[in-house]
Amino acid sequence: MQIDIITLFPDIFFGPLDESIIGRARKKGLVTINAINLRDFTHDARGTVDDSPYGGGPGMLMKPEPIFEAVEALRREDSLVLMTSPRGKRFDQRMAQELSGAEHIIMVCGHYEGVDERVHSLVDLEVSIGDYVLTSGNLAAMVICDATVRLLPEVLGCEESSAEESFSGNLLEYPQYTRPVEFRGMKVPDVLLSGNHAEIASWRKSKALELTRQLRSDLLKNEIN
């Protein structure tokens, strides 16, 4: 997979996407992530990427020309152009799984008061990571990258890890324990020590359902019994 991120702040991606699981995936060549400076696609000495909105109003808008030129320079036949946007589809685990099947993703990070309306015609998918305001779309792009890349084959090392995580199958993950067996009066459930894999699987499913009902009952609307 290749991910090209069009941004006004390419340096912000150094660090978060160079460490831990995503960093190792990049070093192994399982994914290529590039931060592309939008100002490289401007044609004036100042590298102007924004202007005031027609009709008046606060703040500045991102101009269409640099964004169009950047996307058109990067776009391939197999590209998916994604833009972070408050009016986009809500990002979730299912979308991350869908995105993990893409060969090439181009992400456009919004900034200022937003983008010229004509930019929306350029993208295939608009994505929001939640109903709150961020300084720019850069953090949203990092979240989308992290959640998507970790689902690629060989990235986690154990393919079962991603299949049993929270939100897979519309459930929170079941409780998990490790050594010691007893800690400050709290004991590991006997079933997990039994070695009976059928009973363990049944316990885990029931606990996942129980936790989901208690903490995120909204997830169960799509549950298939």
pLDDT, one tens digit per residue, over 114-151 is 999 999 999 999 999 999 989 999 999 999 999 999 99
Stretch 185-209: mean pLDDT, rounded?
A: 96
38 within 8 A of 7, measured Cβ to Cβ: yes
Residue 15 gets the label, from left (phi > 0), alpha (psi -120 to 50) or beta, of left
* Prediction pTM value: 0.87
Using CB atoms within 10 Å of the CB of residue 135, give its burial: 0 to 12 exposed, 13 to 18 middle, 19+ buried.
exposed
Asked if residue 56 has pLDDT above 80, the reply is yes
82-101: pLDDT as tens digits: 999 999 999 999 999 999 99
Please give the pLDDT value at position 167.
62
Stretch 69-78: mean pLDDT, rounded?
A: 98
Please give the pLDDT value at position 225.
44
- What domains lie within the chain, and their CATH numbers? 2-149 (3.40.1280.10), 164-222 (1.10.1270.20)
Residue 120: which of 87, 98, 94, 145 has the closest Cα?
87
Cα–Cα distance measured from residue 223 to residue 132, given in angstroms and rounded to the nearest whole number: 27
39: which DSSP letter?
G
Q: What pLDDT band is residue 168 in, cutting at 50, 70 and 90?
A: low
Asked if residue 198 has pLDDT above 50, the reply is yes
